Amino acid sequence: MIAFPNAKINLGLYVTGKRDDGFHNIESIFYPVPFCDVLEIIESEEFSFQTEGISVTDNPEDNLCVKAYNLLKEKYDLPPISMFLLKNIPSGAGLGGGSSDAAFTLKLLNDVFKLNITVGQLTEYAAMLGSDCPFFVPDYPAYVFGRGELMEAVNLSLKGCYIVIVCPGIHIPTAEAYRNIRTYSTMKIPMPHQVQRDRPYWKETLYNDFENYALGQYPELKEIKEKLYQSGAFFASMSGSGSSIYGIFESKPDVDFKFKVWEGEMI
């Protein structure tokens, strides 16, 4: 059986404080994007995990797909499987590719072996694998908060809009990004309300707290964002802690970027 783990973007991302457990509280709107990896799972005589496309960790046990399988195997005594991952979404880009792969592994195993795990239970298992993983279980536009594992659906559709995602391959470690947050944000307008405003206002009110450091440290990121706006995007931003920059357009733009990794219609 085959699934297509998709990417996400952040429409605004605010770091609101540090938690007692060492994580940070955030607030963001996550929106799914139809830029996908390909994941196949079939029952086998022995376990195997293969990848193609963009390189991932050399140690299979460190891959979130394998961790997702091992998590469910402990609870449901799964048989061995053969798992194949075609990796298209770049890692460390703020697009949630690894988290999506993990969540879709849980969902695919549930379907293949008819485990009858509820969406709520799958979401709980996903949270054990990573903060962003739970979002990809229901996989709908959501207001995300806490350390990223809590979410509420938002009434938001960008269907018919066009997105261009640019990723210059700059690696910004998440820990480094958080270390360079100088002040914590306070919401004047709740995030679900911010995205209900007319789209021209997004540029004025939606902001990614990680941009202040990233765009200052890496001027090429700032140049990419500026070019997206110059090309007609109604909103452009860095996704997650970077380093991908995306622009959303009302219609397909006539633009070309050296480090473009994907473009297409939103869902």
3-state secondary structure of 208: strand
* 77 and 24 housed in the same domain: yes
Out of 8, 87, 107, 225, pick the active-site residue.
8
Domain hosting residue 211, numbered range: 162-265
* 9 and 77 housed in the same domain: yes
Last residue of a domain, one of 101, 121, 153: 153
* 7 and 127 housed in the same domain: yes
The whole-number pLDDT of residue 186 equals: 87
The whole-number pLDDT of residue 174 equals: 86
CB 154 within 8 A of CB 258: no
Last residue of a domain, one of 120, 153, 186: 153
Out of 37, 87, 107, 132, pick the active-site residue.
132
With a pLDDT cut of 90, the percent of the chain lying above it is: 85
Indicate the pLDDT class of residue 200, thresholds 50, 70 and 90. Answer: confident
Distances (CA, A) of 215 to 62, 114, 227, 246, 261: 30, 46, 14, 14, 19
Q: Annotated catalytic, 8?
A: yes
Indicate the pLDDT class of residue 222, thresholds 50, 70 and 90. Answer: very high
The whole-number pLDDT of residue 248 equals: 98
pLDDT by residue (tens digit) across 113-140?
999 999 999 999 999 999 999 999 999 9
Q: Annotated catalytic, 227?
A: no
3-state secondary structure of 26: strand
Number of H helices, E strands in the chain: 8, 12
CATH of the domain at 228: 3.30.70.890
* 66 and 112 housed in the same domain: yes
* 88 and 216 housed in the same domain: no
3-state secondary structure of 260: strand
Indicate the pLDDT class of residue 188, thresholds 50, 70 and 90. Answer: confident
The whole-number pLDDT of residue 130 equals: 93
The whole-number pLDDT of residue 118 equals: 97
The whole-number pLDDT of residue 249 equals: 97
Count of alpha carbons within 13 Å of 107, Cβ hemisphere only? Answer: 21
According to DSSP, the β-strands at 2-3 and 38-43 are antiparallel
- Asked whether the CA dihedral 121, 149, 12, 188 is positive or negative, the reply is positive
* 204 and 229 housed in the same domain: yes
The whole-number pLDDT of residue 56 equals: 77
Last residue of a domain, one of 153, 170, 201: 153
Indicate the pLDDT class of residue 13, thresholds 50, 70 and 90. Answer: very high
Give the global pTM: 0.95
How many domains, the chain?
2
* Integer Cα distance of 207 and 3 in angstroms: 32
Is the per-residue pLDDT at 10 higher than 90? yes
* 123 and 233 housed in the same domain: no
* Integer Cα distance of 38 and 84 in angstroms: 8
Lowest pLDDT segment from 104-108, 111-115, 170-174 = 170-174
CATH of the domain at 129: 3.30.230.10
* 168 and 230 housed in the same domain: yes
The whole-number pLDDT of residue 156 equals: 96
The whole-number pLDDT of residue 22 equals: 85
Mean of pLDDT over the chain: 95
pLDDT by residue (tens digit) across 38-96?
999 999 999 999 999 998 766 888 899 999 999 999 999 899 999 999 999 999 899 99
The whole-number pLDDT of residue 116 equals: 97
Q: What is the CA radius of gyration of the chain?
A: 18
3-state helix vs strand vs coil in the chain, percent to 5: 30, 30, 40
* 191 and 94 housed in the same domain: no
* 171 and 93 housed in the same domain: no
The whole-number pLDDT of residue 241 equals: 93
* 171 and 242 housed in the same domain: yes
* 38 and 143 housed in the same domain: yes
Q: What is the DSSP string of 94-157?
A: SS-HHHHHHHHHHHHHHHHTT----HHHHHHHHHHH-TTGGGGTT-S-EEEETTTTEEEE----
* Integer Cα distance of 244 and 210 in angstroms: 12
pLDDT by residue (tens digit) across 226-257?
999 999 999 999 999 989 999 999 999 998 89
